[in-house]
């Protein structure tokens, strides 16, 4: 195996043995699973840069670390080339850059690049993202010495190689970089996975990657982000983009984000959203941590006199990106909740059946001021997929899904874990301070 760090700065000689310069970079074409080196870049006298075709001109590289590269032709026969649009330079575009590992769903830094010899060809296998790549970049003897010392202590320092077909570049236009037909690109990942990756990036890089997501996936990814990151992320976007993004989100998710913004910014975005802000403003009127603060206003409701056929037509008319529907809620003429019908009930009844006749009328519901913990407890106690929220008159205001209940539980667990970690660190700090005080007292006594 050959590493890029071992090749950089090594001599490039022509077929007659004349030294033309030193290796400065290698280029690959991004259209293969494990791409071939397509071009050799080197610096000649006076650091003048040159680039030549690897296939046409490179002859041998048997001991590249010692002897460098020998070309198959003499200097006068060389025709220089230029970097093609589909080519990527390994040192310039990859080395020390952030990479999305789409298999491990994380962001890593490339410390070295591993290549494999195949006849007269070199292929890129992947990126070294571990400590060995850093050590090797300093000097090969540094890596060897560290490995030897670790071995004396019974420790191993393994390579951490990410195969090229599981990587996506962040510093180039993602829409132009096609890594392989089997490669799972960033814009094909689940929104929750995209959110995990975005959370690991610094704000500038996060915004750069975010530009390459379409509207639906962008809003879904932001909805999946941790609460403390969501508001900061929206703050960093320009106002038009932020307003469009919030408008594409479920009203309850958008309301949660708006709550975390400063008042002036929140009002500006709501004003830009126009009609899309109506549902969000309504939800913002409820206290956070209550049923009103948890609920969404996206639900399907029909009247008692409606037929099964009309209910099905209502369902068919829903937009493709609408949330999953588990129940259809049945209202009286005053919009009060009087019953609920599951999808199974609707499908199994005749088209002319009235919703008031087939509905289940013993509905479990809550009012907007009920505490979040009580709502979650009832959802799991009664094994509900969704809990309706009604006002004092029984008018249906919204629903709380079981997903919302799980989110609340996860938030509580995260808070408990954070609190426990802080207590643990505080305990360690207290012990350290007490030890330091005791040590100082003993030292003072000894000096006396």
DSSP string, 336-389: BEEEEEEHHHHHHS-TT-BHHHHSB-----B-TTSBHHHHHHHHHHTT-SEEEE
Mean pLDDT over 125-130 rounds to: 87
Mean pLDDT computed over every residue of the chain: 83
Taking each helix axis as running N to C, give the angle between helix 402-447 and helix 372-381, from 0 to 180 degrees, rounded to the nearest 10. 130
- Category of 345 on φ-ψ map: left (φ > 0), alpha (ψ -120 to 50) or beta: alpha
Are the C-beta atoms of residues 23 and 7 closer than 8 Å to each other? Answer: yes
Q: Read off the DSSP letter of residue 36.
A: B
In this structure, CATH architecture of domain 301-401? Roll (3.10)
Q: What are the CA-CA distances from residue 401 to residues 222, 320, 359 (Å)?
A: 19, 19, 20
Query: What does the alpha-carbon distance between residue 270 and residue 407 come to, in Å, rounded to a whole number?
Result: 25
- The per-residue pLDDT for range 260-312, each reduced to its tens digit, is 888 899 999 999 998 889 889 989 989 888 999 999 988 999 999 999 999 99
Same fold: 189-285 with 301-401? no
Q: Is the pLDDT of residue 138 over 90?
A: no
Q: What does the pLDDT read at residue 225?
A: 87
State yes or no: pLDDT of 31 exceeds 80: no
Query: What are residue 276's phi and psi, to 5 degrees?
Result: -65, -20
pLDDT band at 229 (very low <50, low <70, confident <90, very high): confident
As a whole number of Å, the CA-based R_g of the chain is 31
Structure tokens at 341: 């019908």
Domain ranges within the chain, ordered by starting residue: 2-169, 189-285, 301-401
Backbone angles phi and psi of 312, in degrees to 5? -65, -40
Query: If you average pLDDT over residues 65-79, what whole number do you get?
Result: 88
State which fold the 189-285 domain adopts.
MgtE N-terminal fold (1.25.60)
More confident residue, 106 or 241: 241
pLDDT tens for 411-446 read 665 555 545 556 665 665 566 566 666 656 655 565
Q: Which of 108-122, 140-154, 206-220, 357-371 has the highest mean pLDDT?
A: 357-371
C-alpha 200/C-alpha 102 separation (Å) is 13
* C-alpha to C-alpha distance for 317 and 201, rounded to whole angstroms: 39
Best CA proximity match to 394, nearest among 331, 446, 340? 331
200, 98 in Cβ contact below 8 A?
no
pLDDT of residue 389: 96
Q: What value does the mean pLDDT take over residues 338-362?
A: 94
Residue 218 in this model has a pLDDT that exceeds 60: yes
């Amino acid at each position: 195996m050959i590493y890029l760090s071992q090749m950089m700065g090594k001599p490039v000689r022509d077929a007659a043995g004349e030294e033309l310069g030193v290796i400065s970079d290698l280029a690959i074409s991004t259209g293969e699973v494990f791409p071939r080196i397509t071009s050799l870049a080197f610096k000649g006298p006076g650091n003048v840069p040159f680039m030549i075709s690897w296939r046409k001109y490179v002859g041998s590289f048997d001991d590249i670390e010692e002897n460098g590269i020998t070309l198959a032709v003499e200097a006068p026969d060389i025709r220089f080339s230029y970097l093609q649009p589909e080519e990527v330079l390994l040192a310039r575009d990859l080395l020390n850059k952030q990479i999305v590992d789409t298999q491990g769903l994380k962001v890593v830094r490339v410390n070295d690049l591993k290549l494999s010899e195949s006849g007269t060809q070199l292929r890129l296998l992947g990126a070294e993202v571990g400590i060995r790549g850093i050590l090797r970049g300093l000097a090969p003897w540094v890596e060897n010495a560290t490995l030897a010392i670790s071995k004396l202590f019974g420790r191993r320092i393994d390579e951490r190689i990410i195969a090229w077909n599981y990587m996506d570049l962040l510093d180039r236009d993602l829409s132009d970089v096609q890594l392989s037909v089997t490669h799972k690109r960033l814009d094909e990942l689940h929104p929750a996975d995209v959110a995990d990756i975005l959370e690991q990036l610094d704000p500038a890089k996060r915004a750069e990657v975010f530009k390459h997501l379409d509207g639906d996936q962008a809003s879904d990814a932001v909805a999946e982000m941790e609460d403390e990151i969501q508001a900061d992320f929206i703050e960093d976007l320009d106002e038009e983009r932020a307003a469009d993004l919030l408008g594409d989100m479920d009203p309850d998710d958008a309301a949660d984000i708006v709550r975390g913004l400063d008042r002036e910014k929140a009002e500006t975005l709501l004003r830009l959203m126009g009609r899309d802000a109506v549902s969000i403003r309504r939800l913002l009127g409820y206290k956070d941590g209550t049923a009103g603060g948890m609920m969404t206003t996206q639900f399907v409701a029909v009247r008692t006199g409606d037929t099964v056929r009309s209910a099905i037509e209502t369902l068919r008319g829903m937009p493709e990106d609408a949330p999953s529907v588990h129940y259809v809620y049945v209202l009286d003429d005053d919009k009060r909740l009087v019953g609920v019908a599951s999808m199974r009930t609707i499908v199994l009844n005749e088209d002319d059946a009235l919703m008031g006749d087939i509905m289940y009328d013993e509905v479990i519901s809550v009012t907007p001021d009920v505490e979040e913990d009580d709502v979650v407890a009832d959802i799991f106690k009664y094994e509900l997929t969704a809990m309706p929220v009604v006002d004092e008159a029984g008018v249906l205001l919204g629903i709380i899904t079981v997903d919302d209940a799980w989110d609340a539980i996860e938030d509580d667990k995260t808070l408990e874990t954070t609190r426990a970690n802080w207590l643990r660190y505080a305990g360690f700090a207290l012990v350290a301070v007490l030890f330091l005080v005791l040590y100082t007292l003993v030292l003072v006594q000894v000096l006396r």
